[in-house]
Amino acid sequence: MIRKIPRATPEDSKERTRLPMLAILTWFVWAIVIAILLLAAFLFVGWPKVSTGVTYGMTFSRAYAEDDLGLDADAVLKGAIDDLGIRRFRIPVTWNTVEPTPGVYDFGPLDRDIAVVADAGGSVVLAIGEKVPRWPECWAPDWWKALPREEQRQKTLAFIETLVTRYRETPAIVAWQVENEPHFLYGECPIPDMGFLKQEIDLVRRLDSTRPVGTTDSGELSAWLTFGRTVDTLGVSVYRVVKNPLIGTWRYIFIPSWFYERKALLVSLFGVHDIYVSEFQMEPWSDHPLTETSIDDQLSTMNLDQMRKNFGFAERMGITPIDFWGVEWWYWMKETQGHPEFWEEAKIFYREHTSP
């Protein structure tokens, strides 16, 4: 007796096709899971060790010292150099103080700050553009704000050209920072425009081919790929304790010190090189001016213990240079609030570390 073989139906063909597809999809999902686990292990698993040969600098803002904290900015900078021993500074150029009237410039304070650092054998990273460190972030003068956006861009390029042409013969200036975290919607600023940022960077390169041209990005909230390939150096911020209106105080205790170095290795595969720390938190986080924030509230995000932890974290990052953020606040706490401990702790740290 001959046994009949059932004829395959369309449904059987679909089932045979479906099974390999399910297997491929399963393997694909597992591959993604394994890749994520390996990436997490690479970034977060390790053992910290103290780095050697690290240069520790500082951001210094004359406008912040004088206008926000009511300090003698000359005294702050002199103290940072002579008493703390800092020799590397990032100095933001606040446009509204340099060109308060179109075509009328006051370079006096900026010239003086650069000269003081230079006389001490120090170096300067000059931050230029519409958006530079410290609130309100964008420091354009009032006359500029009334212009159409395209005309604003042309005035910005003209101001950058004026700055670079004036200071490119100054040996103490070692790099240009163009804008500050330019793709973040933060501060009283125009909508981010990456195309215009490239124009600014290209302009600085044409005017000065002897120095690196960089910009900055968030260390925790960005992949560093947005424009890291378009600059010579990329500075990243490091914050350990912040506040959020929804969740309150947020501590980045889950991010280890080696995270940033390993993240830098990863992005180097995509053409992003020379990562450094442009802004390492060493002052309180507050949504209000510190002069209007209680000392207890300030100490909730930056006290002496947290400062020491931050210094220890910085020592183990494996990245150089590292520019801290907060010397004006240290001085303000020492001179006006009866809290000299932050200044004294910084003095110990800088005396133990080279800051050429």
Q: Cβ-count burial of 95 within 10 angstroms (0-12 exposed, 13-18 middle, 19+ buried)?
A: buried
Looking at residue 356, its pLDDT comes to 46
pLDDT of 194 > 60? The answer is yes
Using CA atoms, how far apart are residues 91 and 89, in angstroms rounded to an integer? Answer: 6
Instruction: Give me the amino acid identity at 354.
Output: T
What does pTM read for this prediction?
0.90
Residue 244 has pLDDT above 80, yes or no: yes
HSE at residue 90, side-chain half, CA atoms within 13 A, is 31
Q: What is the structure's pLDDT at 17?
A: 62
Per the structure block, which two tokens stand in for 10? 């369309």
Class of residue 314 by CB neighbours under 10 A (exposed 0-12, middle 13-18, buried 19+): buried
| Phi–psi pair at 167, nearest 5 degrees | -105, 0
What count of other Cβ atoms lies within 10 Å of the Cβ of residue 150?
A: 8
**pLDDT the model gives residue 309:** 98
Quick one: how far is CA 101 from the chain centroid? 30
- The DSSP bridge partners found for residue 214 are 177, 233
Other Cβ atoms less than 10 A from the Cβ of 243: the count is 15
Count of CB atoms situated within 10 Å of the CB of 220: 15
Q: State whether residue 175 is helix, strand or coil.
A: strand
Provide the 3-class DSSP secondary structure of residue 324.
Answer: strand
pLDDT surpassing 60 at residue 288: yes
